[in-house]
Chains A and B, each alone.
Chain A
Amino acid sequence: MSEFKDLNEKEAKNNNLDEVLIESSAKELSIASTAKVISPGKMVLRRFFKSKLSIIGLVTLLLLFIFSFIGPLLSPYGEVELSGDYKWVVSVLPHKIVVSEINPDTGLAEDVVYNFSEVSEPYKVFTKTLPSWEHIFGTDQYGYDVLTRLMYGGRVSLLLGFIVIFSEVIVGVFFGSLAGYFGRWVDQVVMRTVDVFICLPGLPILLLAASLIDSWGVPARLRIYYLMGILTFFGWSGFARLARGQILGIRELEYMLAAEATGLSTKRKIFKHILPNIMPQIIVSATLGLGGIILTESTLSYLGLGIPFPYAAWGTMISSTSGAAGRDILQNYPGIWVPAGVCIVLAVLAFNFVGDGLRDAFDPKMKR
């Protein structure tokens, strides 16, 4: 700042004629350099971090991510590793069975030796053990370590949430911008389709779809991808409606008229001038939607239609309390199901807090 001033003063001395002019420009310069320039992004960030709730949400999310993505690396147990007492397992020598079979090549009966090795199960599986230092939340009814399952369940829920919301946003914004930008019959077709999807019952139709997957005989490993597909298929309509509404508003603004007048291509208008301006709204509702997706996924898992056994999911862990068989767990082993419920609540709450914080931060009208 002082350098500028010195420079300007020197110049002013050198050139007396322009003294007045240069002095005024020096003033302008000094104002520009004293006032702190804040980019809109920084302003949003600052407003976001002003709210205590959003910080709490963000920290919770970070902790959950560390817990479920780094935790399994540190855990001595695996996702589907039975904990039990292996001390009594004795290695069994392979059995030999001699069978006379007809050799297809020669057509003669030959003695064939079959070797059978017994795969030894652990002598005793520790099911439903109470919390201890070895198993912080105990083990569940199958003998899996609850804490480790909790971490893997978190992986599934968080990853699935992000992937689904991302695909929902892409599909929704694509159709929404088509409808909003082109209007006329495109708008009619897209929006009537959106209406149909909005009138579909949420959970029941997911149940129908998920139960139909069951009858397709999809392997357990792949089931999660089908689940993502279903959730996206029934969830994109909200984003389409949101994007369309936003674009309808933006299309009428002066800068779009200017973009039109400068003869920009449609692609450039959409990707450079419209989409960046609807992004804040989309990000906010995507964050809020993430909580909803985690809830839906865990509900489906609870009902036995989500992530299949033996893979871990928070909803499945709570479902061990349901029915007559679950009465014992519900009553005596809160270590098996309460932590999973707390994790779901924390995750959903955190996404809601962050979403709310983002909405307030993006909204320039919000003054606190």
Chain B
Amino acid sequence: MIKYVIKRIALSVLILFGVSMIIYGLVRIKPGLDFVEAKYATQIQLDDTGQIAIMVEEQRAIYGLTSPVFEGYLIWLNNILHGEWGDSFIFSVTTGDVELLFDQEGEPIYDIDGNQLTRPVASSMVLDIIADKSRISFILAFIATVLQFLIAIPLGITSATKQYGVVDYSVTVLAMMGISLPSFFFGALLLKIFSIQLGWFPYAGLTNPNSNLPVLLDNLHHLILPISVLVILSIGGLMRYTRTNMLEVLNADYIRTARAKGLSEHKVIYKHAFRNTLIPLVTIFAGILPGLFGGALITETIFSIDGIGQAAYRAVTQGDIPFVMAYNLFISLLTVIGILLSDLMYAVVDPRVSLVRGAR
């Protein structure tokens, strides 16, 4: 078991190396000015003191842009491993720390009551921004995921037990519709119908200063539409997955035995069949992890929710390459961890998987 785990972890590290190479390569194959130079091109020309030029060189050094590609990759990777993921061009967040204010002579500044003045420290480090922005994305995704499981699994089971019935057909077609709907179109439709025409839900954002609801309820009120988009679009896949697995299990011999014993249908399905469909469902968890923390890029953009997904989109449109690189790396990291966890969990849950023969 330990050997297997170590082998899998080593493999994951290898995969991450590959991922980082592709991301870095993508950024480096651009001809002409690199992204830092392009960003500050006009400022360097206007700047007489040379301050900006020094700052740009520092920035370029972080991404290894001053060296040839391979060397640059190593420098960048080294910085990544030391936690220096670069600075975002457009975002900054308050870190929660405060710094004391001093005047020009270095004397502390006091207000009327004699307390020293402070100001919150802002950080534009990519890691801080990811940590800050993914909070709301996580809440959104967590509620959506829980709802998705609560709805999709029972539907999948019903659909499988009544195969080729009316319920099965309608559920299958609805699931297909969910898979085929583009989130931006569905989001726009919901906004038009429920927000603009019926006026039931707010149009954008997370809070409404004029609302007389308590803050938490107000937030929830704003989250209903985005959550519905996420849930309805992802139900289809999970439902079909459950249905397929359930059908496979229902054809197994032990189900026939259970029926032959005269067990009630309810017991057969929920005690004997459903428990066994849970095993393949474990693999679903691999995809959940990046979904939970990585944000929903389009949904957040449509509903103007200040999460990591919207941040990524804004970064892309405004040329904030450091943030986009870090975001990609962050999601790949989550994906790799998710796959690793689900593989390990599969081995734990399913006694038929033997670990003696190693990976795969």
A: residues with CB less than 8 A from B are: 53, 192-193, 195-197, 199-201, 203-205, 207-212, 215-216, 291, 295, 298-299, 302-305, 315, 318-319, 321-322, 330-331, 334, 337-338, 340-341, 344-345, 348-349, 352-353, 368
B316-A352 in contact (CB<8A):
no
B298-A299 in contact (CB<8A):
yes
Residue-wise, chain B 12-27 has the 8 Å CB interface mask toward A (1 for contact) of 0011101100110011
Residue-wise, chain B 273-306 has the 8 Å CB interface mask toward A (1 for contact) of 0000000000000000010001001100110000
CB closest chain-B residue, reference A195: B15
Chain A residue contacts of B319, Cβ below 8 A: 211, 215
Q: Which 4 residue pairs are nearest across A and B when measured between Cβ atoms?
A: A196-B18, A341-B185, A201-B331, A348-B180
14 A-B pairs with CB atoms under 8 Å apart are: A53-B173, A201-B294, A204-B331, A208-B316, A211-B319, A212-B29, A212-B30, A321-B188, A322-B188, A331-B196, A341-B185, A341-B189, A344-B180, A352-B179
B184-A315 in contact (CB<8A):
yes
B188-A330 in contact (CB<8A):
yes
- Select the residue from A201, A205, A321, A349 with max chain B CB neighbours within 10 A: A201
Chain A residue contacts of B182, Cβ below 8 A: 295, 298-299, 302, 315, 318, 341, 344-345, 348
Chain B residue contacts of A302, Cβ below 8 A: 182, 184, 298
Question: Which of B62-70, B96-104, B321-329 lines the interface with chain A?
Answer: B321-329
Known: A200-B332, A208-B328, A299-B298. A345 touches B196 (CB 8 A): no
Bound together, the chains give a CA A154 to CA B191 distance in angstroms of 25
B18-A341 in contact (CB<8A):
no
Bound together, the chains give a CA A145 to CA B56 distance in angstroms of 47
Within 8 Å by CB of B324, from A207, A295, A334, A337, lies: A207
Bound together, the chains give a CA A338 to CA B188 distance in angstroms of 9
Chain B residue contacts of A200, Cβ below 8 A: 19, 22, 328, 332, 335
Within 8 Å by CB of A211, from B164, B188, B302, B317, lies: B317
Bound together, the chains give a CA A210 to CA B316 distance in angstroms of 9
CB closest chain-A residue, reference B21: A196
Residues in B50-76 with C-beta less than 8 Å from chain A: none
Given contacts A195-B11, A201-B290, A212-B27, 4 further A-B contacts (CB under 8 A): A200-B22, A207-B312, A207-B316, A212-B30
Known: A192-B14, A199-B335, A215-B35. A349 touches B180 (CB 8 A): yes
B188-A199 in contact (CB<8A):
no
Chain B residue contacts of A304, Cβ below 8 A: 317
Q: Is B38 an interface residue (CB 8 A)?
A: yes
Q: Is B313 an interface residue (CB 8 A)?
A: yes
B188-A341 in contact (CB<8A):
yes
Residues in B313-358 with C-beta less than 8 Å from chain A: 313, 316-317, 319, 321, 324-325, 327-328, 331-332, 335-336, 339
CB closest chain-A residue, reference B30: A212
Q: Is B181 an interface residue (CB 8 A)?
A: yes
- Select the residue from B22, B30, B339 with max chain A CB neighbours within 10 A: B22
A204-B35 in contact (CB<8A):
no
Within 8 Å by CB of B302, from A298, A322, A331, lies: A322
B180-A204 in contact (CB<8A):
no
Bound together, the chains give a CA A9 to CA B335 distance in angstroms of 75
Q: How many inter-chain residue pairs (CB < 8 Å) link A and B?
A: 141
Within 8 Å by CB of A208, from B164, B196, B325, lies: B325
CB closest chain-A residue, reference B14: A192
Q: Is B192 an interface residue (CB 8 A)?
A: yes
Chain A residue contacts of B297, Cβ below 8 A: 203-204, 207
Q: Is B139 an interface residue (CB 8 A)?
A: no
CB closest chain-B residue, reference A211: B316
Within 8 Å by CB of A349, from B31, B177, B290, B317, lies: B177
CB closest chain-A residue, reference B169: A53
Bound together, the chains give a CA A53 to CA B173 distance in angstroms of 9
Bound together, the chains give a CA A334 to CA B301 distance in angstroms of 20
Chain A residue contacts of B321, Cβ below 8 A: 208, 211
Q: Is B122 an interface residue (CB 8 A)?
A: no
Chain B residue contacts of A348, Cβ below 8 A: 179-180, 182
Residue-wise, chain B 121-160 has the 8 Å CB interface mask toward A (1 for contact) of 0000000000000000000000000000000000000000
Chain B residue contacts of A338, Cβ below 8 A: 189
- Select the residue from A197, A199, A319, A341 with max chain B CB neighbours within 10 A: A199
Chain A residue contacts of B177, Cβ below 8 A: 345, 349
B180-A215 in contact (CB<8A):
no
Chain B residue contacts of A211, Cβ below 8 A: 316-317, 319, 321, 324
Within 8 Å by CB of B192, from A199, A209, A295, A330, lies: A330
Q: Is B176 an interface residue (CB 8 A)?
A: yes
Bound together, the chains give a CA A211 to CA B321 distance in angstroms of 9
Bound together, the chains give a CA A341 to CA B331 distance in angstroms of 29
Chain B residue contacts of A207, Cβ below 8 A: 297, 312-313, 316, 324
Within 8 Å by CB of B180, from A216, A318, A331, A352, lies: A352
A204-B30 in contact (CB<8A):
no
Least CB distance from A187 to B in Å reads 11
Chain A residue contacts of B23, Cβ below 8 A: 205, 208
A193-B18 in contact (CB<8A):
yes
CB closest chain-B residue, reference A356: B176
CB closest chain-B residue, reference A56: B173
Chain B residue contacts of A298, Cβ below 8 A: 182
Bound together, the chains give a CA A193 to CA B290 distance in angstroms of 20
B324-A199 in contact (CB<8A):
no
Bound together, the chains give a CA A210 to CA B328 distance in angstroms of 14
A196-B298 in contact (CB<8A):
no
Least CB distance from A297 to B in Å reads 10
Least CB distance from A36 to B in Å reads 27
- Select the residue from B15, B27, B38, B312 with max chain A CB neighbours within 10 A: B15
Chain B residue contacts of A204, Cβ below 8 A: 294, 297, 312, 324, 327-328, 331
Bound together, the chains give a CA A85 to CA B26 distance in angstroms of 47
CB closest chain-A residue, reference B298: A299
CB closest chain-B residue, reference A338: B189
CB closest chain-A residue, reference B186: A341
Bound together, the chains give a CA A353 to CA B173 distance in angstroms of 9
Known: A199-B339, A299-B298. A330 touches B196 (CB 8 A): yes
CB closest chain-B residue, reference A331: B196
Residues in B20-51 with C-beta less than 8 Å from chain A: 22-23, 26-27, 29-32, 35, 38
CB closest chain-A residue, reference B297: A203
